[in-house]
Amino acid sequence: MTQPESGSEDLIESDAPSSATTTLRRRLERVVPPMVSRKVVGGIAAAALVLGLVIGFLVDT
């Protein structure tokens, strides 16, 4: 059995990021410091979505 060279089989080849993606990522890094993990940002976004849905439901009734 041979082992893959430095995990090269695990890599997924993809296109280089577009300039729009790069620009968006730079703007996001200005707003959210790089020290904050994506899980934290995702958790906050999910909580905001749930809160919005609850408020929308309560206002609708």
Q: What angle do CA 53, 58, 59 make, to 5 degrees?
A: 100
Q: What is the pLDDT at residue 1? A: 46
Alpha helices (runs of H) in the chain, residue ranges in sequence order: 19-31, 38-60
Domain boundaries, the chain: 37-61
pLDDT over threshold 90, residue 19? no
pLDDT tops 60 at residue 6: no
* Span 24-58, pLDDT tens digits: 888 877 777 766 777 888 889 999 999 999 999 99
